[in-house]
Amino acid sequence: MPKQSAGILLHRMRHGVVEVLLVHPGGPFWARRDAGAWSIPKGEYTGGEAPLDAAVREFREETGAEVDPALAVPLGSVTQRGGKVVTAWAVSGDFDVASLVGNLAEVEWPRGSGVLRSFPEVDRAEWFGPDEARRKINAAQAEFVDRLVESLRKET
């Protein structure tokens, strides 16, 4: 069975344009990567945890902020290139990127050294308009941005 992740696509309106919150993975492997490296705040879960509960937990762990699951609108699932299935929900809200506080993750670095070092799971968060978000986000997850934009268009 493929690995499963769940996440939250936080969005807000600024000057009549939707913006989405994306996070950049921390650690030396990702330090110089930009286009295609960003993601929605998300993380893996097992069969014993409801996907929405996992998405809310991961959002909190990666940003330090809370979201209300009652506001979550399903965006469906996508399969990333490596086979991981990511399920996402859209939540309208705001977040001050300067207040980002996330978990640390242990990573073998340098690779193959046997040495474990701690790095922030997420090193920064930023708001992007849809076009820029599609360039920044993992290619498969760009579908979530498209689905969000389409759902907001239907609301107006």
* Euclidean distance between CA atoms 7 and 43, whole angstroms: 7
The token pair at 7 is: 């996440």
Which class is domain 4-155?
alpha beta
The one-letter amino acid at 37: A
Q: Evaluate if residue 156 carries a pLDDT over 80.
A: no
pLDDT category, 95, cuts 50, 70, 90? very high
pLDDT in tens, 24-83: 999 888 889 999 999 999 999 988 999 999 999 999 999 999 999 999 999 999 999 999
pLDDT digit string, tens, across residues 8-22: 999 999 999 999 999
Give the rounded percent of residues in the chain with a pLDDT score beyond 90.
Answer: 87
Domain extents in the chain: 4-155
pTM of this structure: 0.94
As a whole number, mean pLDDT of residues 100-122 equals 92
